[in-house]
Copies of this chain bind each other. A is one copy, B any other.
Amino acid sequence: MAMPAQHRQAIVRAAVALFRKKGFAATGLAEILERSGAPKGSLYHYFPGGKAELGEAAVRQAGATVTHTLSRLRDEAPGAAELIRRYVDLLAMWMKKSNWRDGCPIVTTLLETAHDLAPVAAAGREALADWAEVLAAALGSEGVDPARARRLARFAISALEGALVQAKVERDEAALLEARDELAALMADTVRAAKP
């Protein structure tokens, strides 16, 4: 079975989009295949483990996309506080544009499956760790002690995950902007305190 690798990619992309919008359990494999435009048979060719394997690939792919965005912002922003500001402004814009349907691309799948599908949970852990690492590195390059940087970075991930939930439920960006301002202030204070 020689199938172009782009079919695999199209299937994963479709899975990411549908899991994000509807959740893992509510999304059918037929729906994913249809949205992907890949030929019948390619789904089980690339994902013999079925939906669980696709869940893992989707979390991994979506996690990498977020890491890439954060890393790009880190290169552009003059510091951790501004990185957070720019990232949350993007999140708020994306949420609004999706009419408050989207949100974190992995959280719904993770909450639904983390306990029962160990490979999906592992992909989620790696994604969360990668995101925190980008934020921690930004704080570290401003002189914040590594352990403190890591804790604050992980706290920021928690706050942003929760703010995305609130924004979705409230159909309003307020929770995101509040989290943005609190986190940016906390990071600026931490950087200031770290200055020799």
Residues of A in contact with B (beta carbons under 8 Å apart): 21-26, 99-101, 103, 107-108, 110-112, 114-115, 121, 124-125, 128, 151-152, 154-155, 157-163, 165-166, 168-171, 174-175, 178-179, 181-182, 186
**How many Å from the CB of A50 to the closest CB on chain B?**
15
Known: A158-B179, A159-B155. A115 touches B128 (CB 8 A): no
**How many Å from the CB of A179 to the closest CB on chain B?**
5
Question: Residue of B at shortest CB range from A172?
Answer: B125
**How many Å from the CB of A106 to the closest CB on chain B?**
9
Q: Which residues of B contact A168 (CB under 8 A)?
A: 110-111, 114-115
Question: Residue of B at shortest CB range from A161?
Answer: B162
Q: Which residues of B contact A99 (CB under 8 A)?
A: 115
- Is there contact, CB below 8 Å, between B101 and A169? no
Q: Which residues of B contact A162 (CB under 8 A)?
A: 157-163, 165
